[in-house]
Structure 1
Amino acid sequence: MLKNIVALLVSGSCTVFAVAQEKPLKSVYDPQALFAPLFYTQNGGTVRSANGLPGVYYWQNRADYKLSASIDTASNQLSGNEIISYTNNSPDPLNSLWLQLDQNTYQKGARSNYFTGRQPADFTSGYQVESVEAGYNGNVSKADFIITDTRMQVRLPKALSAKGGRITLAIKYHYTIPGDFGGRTDFAKTKNGKIFEIAQWYPRMCVYDDMSGWDTLPFLGSGEFYLEYGDFDYSVTVPWDMIVAGPGTLQNPQEVLTPKQLERLTRARNSDKTIMIRTPEEVTQASSRPVQKGNLTWHYKMYNTRDVAFGASKAYMWDAARVNLPEGKQSLAMSVYPVESAGNEAWGRATEYLKESIEIFSKKWFVYPYPTAINEAGVAGGMEYPGIVFDGINDKGKELFWVTAHEIGHNWFPMIVGSNERRFAWMDEGFNTFIDIFASDEFNKGEYSPKRDSEYAPGGGNPADEIVAAMADPNTPVIMTNPDQVAEKYRHTITYFKPAFAMVLLREQILGSERFDYAFKQYTEQWAYKHPYPMDFFHAMENGAGEDLAWFWRGFYFNNWKFDVAVQDARYDAAKKNLQYTLVNLDKMAFPVMVQVEFKDGSSQRVKLPVETWMQNASVTLSLAVDKEVSAVSVDPDAGLPDTNRANNVFKVR
């Protein structure tokens, strides 16, 4: 991404020169295709407004969870009990309920095996559901359920009533925690003990919404999650010598922490510098735990969230520092990691990275809502959940900063703005990759700037040129492709890089920073803890910025249309002090373009041509009053547009 995100708005008249081409440039541009009407196929309604914001009758269902789990560290088995309190706020009676059983993706017969190519050794038996009971109107009975791959349907004897009907589900289960093949959830060995990264560890309610009804796409791996919001009360029982790093508020600190650790945490809550809670020397000292036998239960509560995950290990070092939020609010940033990851060149700065990323995102977009944020070192190597991120145990320096900023940034997209990751991965990965730019630019005065997200120039380069290289393959999918359909070779380009660059184009080239920031912040605030879809985002940006952007969504999101603008001709009449120049749009895409005129005295002048320049024709001839001799004319002088051929952008005046 670009180090500085500045709108290229230059006032004043401009002059442009070009040398006539020997042959006319051939164009395939069709303005009728790019600017075709009726981009939106549905009108706004009372649930989702045409202005892109939740309508006056917007609704979503709610799932509150009471969870308890224990981990057998010898067999690597997690046993759990959960009670889900589910509220149907929809206008529809529900004859059945659907839940996600993501651990079933590791079964030998899972659909995902045909998608991921999992090896024979990389299997577990998935969820072993021992019992399911439903409580409705005070009556509790054994539930009628069926499990299909990574989904479970609970069939109700009587429909759950609309507009406020409530039901509870009590589920008892166990499963074997996958090893490092788990990807997002796993256990791995260190010299001082196993590290457990526990996610997707309880049956979770599928979303029922106004767009799809029940969203029951199976979990295949690339498409991530779509979840309801609610309050979580969860307890984790582990051997006495383990630390459980869980998001939310710890309810029983006196039971699971030593007096020294409690005192250090108090100091950390008032310190901008990182405070050690458990030192490397203490990791192997039994006295760093309040008891030296049996098990301990860690009890947490987390409110208004869509999920919880946690880490657990006896190998954890632990440090923390205060997070300063707008309006005097505060949070606590913490990192847990093994001694192998210690040192300021590695995880010794992890809490610093976490703290400042949260402060930057909170100041720019939306205030971080949770009481704690945790950076956990393991082998998941870059995975996000509300209030906790799993980052790479071997990450160091800029890589650790970048992954920390990116993963905690997911607390804004999609943890706060709850888009559907399983269908529209670009709405979390792309948005988050975009806001990473600000964290990289601002952290420690740009210590790790600029952040690179393109494999086409990992050490630096122009992102506009990088996206051209990325789009050179004609088989590259479009942004709107279902994430599970995107082959791994294209995944980063289409899910992360192109949608993030699209946001840069909107902010720098199309809308300008002031209009973009207002519209995007309004979108974020209005859809916080709700479920926006792509058309909501498109509408919100158009209404917030006051711009019809259907041409941009059509060409850049629904298609991979390329852009190539050229200066065809330029003639300067010294007597009339007039410059006449011709621009040609050679490919299918269009953008507003900056034209720069360079004078023989070394000065220059710019004019910004709006996208309407291309609404009727592929070629335009314009006049400009100038009072000095011109030496050259160029388009897109800052190389901010994804122009496939820059060789025709600059012309010397004869």
Structure 2
Amino acid sequence: MRIPKFLLLFCFSSLTAFAQEVVPNNQSKFDEIMYRRGNVYRSASGVPGPQYWQNRADYNIDVELDEKANVLKGKLTMTYHNNSPEELNYVWMYVEQNRFTEDSRGTLTTPIEGRNRYAGDTDGGFKISSLSAKVKGDASSKYLITDTRMQVFFNEPIAAKGGMATVSMNFEFKIPEEGMDRMGQLKTKDGIIYSVAQWYPRVAVFDDVKGWNTEPYLGAGEFYLDYGDYDFKVTVPYDFIVVGSGELVNPKEVLSKELQNRWDKASQSDKTVYLIAPNEIGNTKLTRPSQNGKTTWHFRIKNSRDAVFAASRGFIWDAARINLPSGKKAVAQSVYTKESDGPKAWSRSTEYTKASIEHYSSKWFEYPYPNAINVASNVGGMEYPGVSFCHARSKGQDLWEVTDHEFGHNWFPMIVGSNERLYAWMDEGFNTFINHYSTLEFNKGEYPSDAAKGRNQVFWYRSKNREGINTYPDVARPMNLGYTAYSKPALGLIMLREYILGAERFDNAFKAYIKNWSYKHPQPSDFFNAMENGAGENLNWFWRGWFMGSGNIDLGISNVVQNQDSAIITFTNKGDVPMPIVFKVIYEDDSKEIKTLPVEVWQRTNEWEYLLRSSKKVKAVDIDPSRILPDVDGSNNSWIKE
């Protein structure tokens, strides 16, 4: 194609005139982030691909609690299902009680001074014996333990696309008193409360992204686990109560007829019903069928990524019915101590648990487990499928917040099974986001939520020590983890819902993400793709600016020029994160209107003139009137006519 000479001359003249003035545009802020192309395993639309696969592990576990030695010992059989397209000569398993030793990586990377919540005992660790790993033929007893990982070898490979293997072993460990705020012991007047987690060797995830995920258990990084069915038995002294993930399948063997009757009443009641009242602690004739020896409590949970339990002879126990959208029912339960009892404390725990589960089930995805149990514990707050450990001293708003947060984790990461050890924001941040709306709804706003008040957090966004959301939890400075994993990603989703997309578009995309990745393993790219496809919006600028770095938002108004039938408002973007401009115009007659400029105004330049057509005179202009954005310089967000 021939280009006219006059056009070539014009272009050349323009280039010559401005050769000394190179003005870059902002395209780099809008470019794609990470590798997000689809494949047969993960679609570019943000859903599992047509050949998506994940492996599975089913567990049978039988343990006994020795309260004199504070030791748990038992045996397990893990049945592994290899659905991957390659055969496996070994499996990696986590032995996370090895974190509680003097020479564990976690212990050696814990600062001497300023010990954080992830410090723990150092006189524990697993003892493994009688290991047998079998595919079809002879069993192998070969294994290799490195810190909190154990490699188990087979004599023949596990076949691809449906091969099966079993790994069985005996194990025991001393239950730590201080369990890194994940588990441990709480001493009370009526006995120790044992909160038992990370209590059995469990297989690591083998996926299509990294192969074996074998990051060591250091402390801040939580867990990444496959799904399976759990059948577990816990033997304890006869006067103990045990609660665990899933369903108690032998109530007639461990509960008196009176307790069974109370259970039936509670499971049909929207009000909290005592199973064991405060004045009934220790009255085993009322509550237990046996009066000596030991009892074995038997639990099952299906399609779960973990299972835990708590045990004590000192429990107050109450319960109420949970009403689910499908018409199904579940049971909210709480076990706590006399020290935790009270109308402003743990006697409201079951009310909180019920409200939390019902809200998330109605708004996002239905709760899948038969029970939701809150345990008054030495643990500040930690989540497991169907069971939460929350601090026994919590009360009032603090107890609501920790209860709601830990049960919210049943959606992230129990249902949507992300990799917590690497991407804490995909469970902590998403959960903090849904907690915001649950809190606003609970009891018609009994407790406030500040999660959407971005300007309250500006002091951290200005800090020179801040880090990005994508910082791994074990790498993040302790002072930053609450922001990088919890509040910043939560605020990001609130901005996306309330400021950028609107509730309807956001909710459609977010619900689809939960549904499509329920009981599966999404990566960050899957979430980004799912939200963009579901909302119909290119959000590269938002993922890059908010989730992938430590840049800030800084919008402003630099000038307003009034004309006879219009006004020109000059907006500026001095920050690293571009944003749409939502602004309120107030006229001299005190009428108001909200207007929005799209984020694309910042693609070329950092200054934008907006022509406001109105015969009314402008009295004031205010950016972000709802005060959602954590704009680091709010001094120029408003203009008022002098």
**Which of the pair has the greater relative contact order for Cα pairs under 8 Å at 6+ separation?**
1
Task: After TM superposition, list the pairs within 5 Å mapping 1:490-509 onto structure 2.
Answer: 490-509=480-499
Q: CA deviation at 1:39?
A: 2.2
Say if 2:623 is the partner of 1:645: no
State the Cα deviation string for residues 339-367 of structure 1 (Å, max 9, x = none). 11111111101000000100000000000
- Structure 2 equivalent of residue 347 of structure 1: 346
Say if 2:613 is the partner of 1:625: yes
Structure 1 unaligned runs (5+)?
A: 1-27, 454-461
Say if 2:484 is the partner of 1:486: no
Task: After TM superposition, list the pairs within 5 Å mapping 1:62-141 onto structure 2.
Answer: 62-117=56-111, 122-137=121-136, 139-141=137-139
Say if 2:466 is the partner of 1:476: yes
2:506 to 509, 512, 516: 516
Aligned partner letter, 1:343: G
- Structure 2 equivalent of residue 536 of structure 1: 526
The number of residue pairs the alignment matches comes to 614
2:196 to 185, 188, 198: 198
State the Cα deviation string for residues 51-105 of structure 1 (Å, max 9, x = none). 0110111000000000010000000000020000000000011121100000000
Say if 2:607 is the partner of 1:609: no
* SS of residue paired to 1:506: helix
Q: CA deviation at 1:174?
A: 0.6
2:27 to 29, 32, 42: 32
Write the distance in 2 (CA, Å) between the matches of 1:128 and 1:436.
40
- Structure 2 equivalent of residue 563 of structure 1: 553
Aligned partner letter, 1:86: Y
State the Cα deviation string for residues 508-537 of structure 1 (Å, max 9, x = none). 111100000000000001100000010000
Aligned partner letter, 1:632: A
* SS of residue paired to 1:327: coil
State the Cα deviation string for residues 356-394 of structure 1 (Å, max 9, x = none). 100000000000000011000010120100000000111
State the Cα deviation string for residues 296-323 of structure 1 (Å, max 9, x = none). 0001111010100010000001000000
Write the distance in 1 (CA, Å) between the matches of 2:213 and 2:188.
39
Distance 1:113 1:374, change over 3 A: same
Tell which deviates more after alignment, 644-653 or 528-537: 644-653
* SS of residue paired to 1:483: coil
Task: After TM superposition, list the pairs within 5 Å mapping 1:99-498 onto structure 2.
Answer: 99-117=93-111, 122-137=121-136, 139-287=137-285, 288-450=287-449, 452=450, 463-498=453-488
Write the distance in 2 (CA, Å) between the matches of 1:417 and 1:587.
33
* SS of residue paired to 1:281: helix
Write the distance in 2 (CA, Å) between the matches of 1:606 and 1:154.
62
Write the distance in 2 (CA, Å) between the matches of 1:605 and 1:442.
28
Distance 1:383 1:30, change over 3 A: farther
Write the distance in 2 (CA, Å) between the matches of 1:511 and 1:466.
22
Aligned partner letter, 2:62: S
Structure 2 unaligned runs (5+)?
A: 1-22
Say if 2:623 is the partner of 1:635: yes
- Structure 1 equivalent of residue 50 of structure 2: 56
State the Cα deviation string for residues 251-302 of structure 1 (Å, max 9, x = none). 1111100000000000011100000001111112131221111000001111
Write the distance in 2 (CA, Å) between the matches of 1:357 and 1:443.
8
Aligned partner letter, 2:618: V
Q: CA deviation at 1:29?
A: 9.7
Q: CA deviation at 1:182?
A: 4.2
Write the distance in 1 (CA, Å) between the matches of 2:180 and 2:488.
28
Aligned partner letter, 2:586: E
Q: Contact between 1:29 and 1:587, CA under 8 Å: does it hold in 2? A: no
Q: Contact between 1:29 and 1:588, CA under 8 Å: does it hold in 2? A: no
Aligned partner letter, 1:217: E
Write the distance in 2 (CA, Å) between the matches of 1:222 and 1:215.
16
> Structure 2 length normalisation: TM-score?
0.94
Q: Contact between 2:144 and 2:152, CA under 8 Å: does it hold in 1? A: yes
State the Cα deviation string for residues 159-180 of structure 1 (Å, max 9, x = none). 2111001000001111100013
Write the distance in 1 (CA, Å) between the matches of 2:561 and 2:159.
74
RMSD over equivalenced CA pairs, Å: 1.5
Q: CA deviation at 1:183?
A: 2.3
State the Cα deviation string for residues 376-434 of structure 1 (Å, max 9, x = none). 00101201000000001111111101100000000000000000000000000000000
Write the distance in 2 (CA, Å) between the matches of 1:218 and 1:519.
34
Q: Contact between 2:509 and 2:534, CA under 8 Å: does it hold in 1? A: yes
Write the distance in 2 (CA, Å) between the matches of 1:200 and 1:437.
29
Distance 1:117 1:584, change over 3 A: closer
- Structure 2 equivalent of residue 25 of structure 1: none
Distance 1:652 1:187, change over 3 A: closer
Write the distance in 2 (CA, Å) between the matches of 1:46 and 1:472.
43
Q: CA deviation at 1:140?
A: 4.7
Q: CA deviation at 1:181?
A: 4.4
Tell which deviates more after alignment, 429-438 or 563-572: 563-572
Write the distance in 2 (CA, Å) between the matches of 1:190 and 1:249.
27
State the Cα deviation string for residues 118-167 of structure 1 (Å, max 9, x = none). 79993123000012101222x35242100000000012222211100100
* SS of residue paired to 2:326: helix
Q: CA deviation at 1:572?
A: 1.6
Q: CA deviation at 1:30?
A: 5.7
Tell which deviates more after alignment, 244-253 or 59-68: 244-253
Aligned partner letter, 2:407: I
Q: Contact between 2:453 and 2:627, CA under 8 Å: does it hold in 1? A: no
Write the distance in 1 (CA, Å) between the matches of 2:145 and 2:375.
32
Tell which deviates more after alignment, 585-594 or 328-337: 585-594
2:573 to 585, 599, 605: 585
* 4+ residue runs over 6 A deviation: 118-121
- Structure 2 equivalent of residue 3 of structure 1: none
Write the distance in 2 (CA, Å) between the matches of 1:307 and 1:30.
50
Distance 1:388 1:121, change over 3 A: closer
2:540 to 533, 547, 550: 550
State the Cα deviation string for residues 180-208 of structure 1 (Å, max 9, x = none). 34421111211011110000000000000
State the Cα deviation string for residues 529-579 of structure 1 (Å, max 9, x = none). 0000100000000000000000001011111211212212222222xx121
Q: CA deviation at 1:41?
A: 2.1
* SS of residue paired to 2:193: strand
Write the distance in 2 (CA, Å) between the matches of 1:595 and 1:325.
40
> Structure 1 length normalisation: TM-score?
0.92
Say if 2:593 is the partner of 1:599: no
Write the distance in 1 (CA, Å) between the matches of 2:25 and 2:194.
56
Aligned partner letter, 2:610: L
Aligned partner letter, 2:292: K
| Identical-pair percentage | 45
Q: Contact between 2:102 and 2:108, CA under 8 Å: does it hold in 1? A: no
Q: Contact between 2:553 and 2:632, CA under 8 Å: does it hold in 1? A: yes
* SS of residue paired to 2:139: strand
Aligned partner letter, 2:214: T
Q: CA deviation at 1:115?
A: 2.0
Aligned partner letter, 1:468: V
